[in-house]
Amino acid sequence: MVDLSQFDPNLAGNPNNNIFGLPFTEEDAKVVLLPVPWEVTVSFGAGTSRAAEQIFKASLQVDLFDPDLKDGWRNGFFMKAIDKKILLKSDYLRKEAELYIDYISKGDDVQANKFMCKSLKDINEGSLLLNTWVYEQTKALLDKGKLVGIIGGDHSTPLGYFKAIAEKYGNFGILQVDAHCDLRISYEDFNYSHASIMYNALNEIPELQKLIQVGVRDYGEDEFQYVQDNNERIVTYFDRDIKERQFEGETWKNIVDEIVEKLPEQVYISFDIDGLDPKLSPNTGTPVAGGFEAEQVVYLFRKVIDSGRKLIGFDLVEVGVGEGGIDANVAARLLFKLCNLMVKSNS
């Protein structure tokens, strides 16, 4: 048990402590955060593999008082060390992927190029390795009774955690905040692309009963059709439709109540930060005009918890790295809120 008698939550965060300046160890913390420094298959802007360290630094400026759970931090929040081997693997395969994406973008035949065939094989095998690593890491934490959150990395990173969640909790639903559907099949020939995370989850995890997507505004016709063909399992609230309903006088509360009603009792939040208005995350990998204010998303998350549903896990992914640090600062505050809400939900 950590002795907090000498810890003042009103002082500046101590960089010698862990995330949010908190003096907890992994053993003592109720919430353990797993950084996954991976961005092999990103399609546009890079940098998210190094987001966790930037979020950690920004977290030292986060005030520890949260009116939703004013002493939530006393339960203990801890971020594991960044695995340098995973980061180096990501860096190496990212270079391979960049060459491969450039090659196929010109319409060249992959089968005619042995180097490209090998690169594709290496990338897909690397992604399988990453999925297994995330599964093993998160399963071990869940087996110890920890509440677990993932800090990405790109949006491909939580698949292994979804599988560990399914084993631990059984049937569950995912609430996905995202500018994209992420329902592409083997995007750019990468089986575990960031653009395929929800397609893979739906096809590999039978315990995933419901996928509720909110804020989607950039998607392909094939993804749109996939949503229509699987409407018993997938409900997508497109950004355009949300805005139109609001323009015509409907409140965000009414829309949120409808979203929450469609969720099962056990909920996992998958939060791609590009679901926000890009002014809040300008360096995310694929920013798209539109999206939410931070408080709109927090309101949605709070209403999920207020409904009595159980938050069993979350990920925060696609946070960019850039000058000024706005991405990390916004992410750190949203991460703190997610940690508190998960503690509240599991108290």
213: domain CATH number? 3.40.800.10
Q: What pLDDT does 322 receive?
A: 87
Residue 211, in any domain of the structure: yes
Residue span of the structural domain in which 239 resides: 19-345
Alpha helices in 81-238 (DSSP H): 84-105, 114-143, 159-169, 197-204, 221-229
Per-residue pLDDT tens over the stretch 264-308: 999 999 999 999 999 999 999 999 999 999 999 999 999 999 999
Structure tokens at 7: 């810890």
Band (pLDDT 50/70/90 cuts) for residue 76 is very high
What's the half-sphere exposure (Cβ side, CA atoms, 13 Å) at 11?
10
Give the C-alpha separation, 216 to 233, whole Å.
17
pLDDT at 43 over 80: no
Residues with Cβ < 8 Å from 251, sequence gap 6 or more? none
Average pLDDT, the chain: 96
Residue 11, in any domain of the structure: no
3-state secondary structure of 279: coil
Q: What pLDDT does 323 receive?
A: 83
Per-residue pLDDT tens over the stretch 13-38: 999 999 999 999 999 999 999 999 99
Residue 115, in any domain of the structure: yes
Q: Cis peptide leading into 47, omega within 30 of 0?
A: no
Residue 6, in any domain of the structure: no
In the chain, how many domains are there?
1
Per-residue pLDDT tens over the stretch 148-204: 999 999 999 999 999 999 999 999 999 999 999 999 998 888 999 999 999 999 999
Residue 164, in any domain of the structure: yes
Per-residue pLDDT tens over the stretch 117-128: 999 999 999 999
* Neighbour tally for 245: CB within 10 Å: 16
Residue 256, in any domain of the structure: yes
Please check whether residue 22 is in contact with residue 52, taking contact to mean a CB–CB distance below 8 angstroms.
no
β-bridge partners, 270 = 176, 315
Band (pLDDT 50/70/90 cuts) for residue 231 is very high
Residue 10, in any domain of the structure: no
Band (pLDDT 50/70/90 cuts) for residue 63 is very high
Residue 13, in any domain of the structure: no
